[in-house]
Amino acid sequence: MSSIRIVARTQSWRNGAVILPLVAVLITLLVTSGAVFAANANPLQVFFEIFIEPFRSRYSFLETLVSATPLFLTGTAVALAFRSGYYNIGAEGQLLVGAIFAAGIGPRLGGVPQIFGILAMVFAGAFGGLVWALIPALLRTRANIDEVVTTLLLNPTATLLVAGLLNGPWRNPVTHFNESERIVAAAEFPILLSRSRINFGFVVAVIVMIIVALVVHRSALGLKMRAAGLSPEGARFNGLAVEGLLLKAALGSGAIAGITGACLVGGIQFRLTEGISGGLGYTGILVATLGGLNILGVAAAGFLLALVNVGASSANRVFGIPAQLSAVISGSLMMITVAVMLFRRYRLVYRKAK
């Protein structure tokens, strides 16, 4: 009888790291075109609007980079933690608390030089994210409490904290809107290119990515973290202090997620607002996975998902298709990618009938 069998590869397929994600994207587009059809639109036109149109206009392209900036950061945050075997699913909450700290210090930086103001914002964000990441990290390393559950529970808690501040003590005293006081000019991230929203946050994201890439791929600490992630028992057997490594990865991850919040406050919103994140922390998990937990991959995946986000809202304007298409594409892409990536380690063998 002829049959198709799945056989383990003797060596992992190197080119697969590039080819397979592209295959995953293609399959995702095929699958999600069903949703586009159902909403009475032509998938070819919609996907053209999402993936090609941004490259034809300066503004759309820069807007995609603006949208990619927080994804670079949350993707890097998640990749750093996952690589070390610490499942930080709390980037959303850490981002929000980082934004709270940045929005708290932002209006009080009047009279300082702008470079100091920006640094203060970034550090405030990092500190906020770190604080929020510290609780689950300590619970995991000291009491062996599953970090997946605690980081997840702290996400809605942070959302409520933001809402509580904005409806209570931080409600804008002038407009009475539920948004905090505007940050001062010295705390604002400068715009990099005229007639766009691309700002210093993009530079922050690139710097953070370079630092994390150097630490993970080129330092002893990074090697130890990866060892702990691949096999905690093995790492422990070889004398590595796995708990200490997990704590470092968790706090680094939280700090980066917090910096994302600072970038959103300093470069886009200039204040704390209720919808400031809208799931960027969760999308970061998708970016990290899609990027194969390495930083170049995160950059590519972050850009791709930014295209999907920006493109879905422009497809919404042009074709009236719901902008939630971006979440449909993202979610399918995540599941399809993990499935397709198996072919790095396995291959299909067709056996002819005998």
Residues near other proteins (CB under 8 A) are 35, 38-39, 87, 89, 135, 139, 143-146, 148-150, 152-157, 160-161, 163-165, 167-169, 282-283, 285-286, 289, 321-335, 338-339, 341-342
Residue 107 or 279 having the CB closest to other proteins: 279
CB of 46 to other proteins, least distance (A): 13
Minimum distance from residue 43 beta carbon to other proteins (Å): 14
Min dist CB 279 to other proteins, Å, is 8
Count CA atoms closer than 13 A to 166's CA, side-chain side.
22
Q: Kindly tell me the sign of the dihedral angle through the C-alpha atoms of 140, 146, 152, 153.
A: negative
Shortest gap between Cβ of 208 and other proteins (angstroms)?
A: 23
Nearer to other proteins (CB atom), residue 114 or residue 294: 294
Output 118 or 334, the one with its CB closest to other proteins.
334
Least distance in Å: CB of 37 to other proteins?
A: 11
How far apart are CB 26 and other proteins at their closest, in Å?
17
Backbone angles phi, psi at 199, to 5 degrees: -135, -175
For other proteins, the closer of residues 109 and 308 by Cβ is: 308
Q: How many Cβ atoms are within 10 Å of 230's Cβ, its own excluded?
A: 12
C-beta separation of 183 from 168 below 8 A: no
- Write down the least CB distance from residue 341 to other proteins, Å: 8
Biggest CA-to-CA distance, the chain:
84
Residues 6+ apart with CB under 8 A from 236: 242
Q: Which is nearer to other proteins, 157 or 294 (CB)?
A: 157
Length of the chain: 354
Least distance in angstroms from the C-beta of 88 to other proteins? 11
Which residues are within 8 A (CB) of 351 and not within 5 positions of it... i.e. 6 or more apart?
A: 2, 3, 4, 5
**Do the Cβ atoms of 274 and 264 come closer than 8 Å?**
no
Contact between 154 and 134 (Cβ < 8 Å): no
* Contacts by residues 55-58 (CB-CB < 8 Å, ≥ 24 positions apart): 58/196
Cβ nearer to other proteins, comparing 130 with 333: 333
Residue carrying structure tokens 């904290």: 161
**Residue among 153 and 207 whose Cβ is closer to other proteins:** 153
Beta carbon nearer to other proteins, 43 or 322 = 322
Residues 184, 117: contact at Cβ < 8 Å?
yes
Separation between Cα atoms, residue 212 and residue 74, nearest integer Å: 12
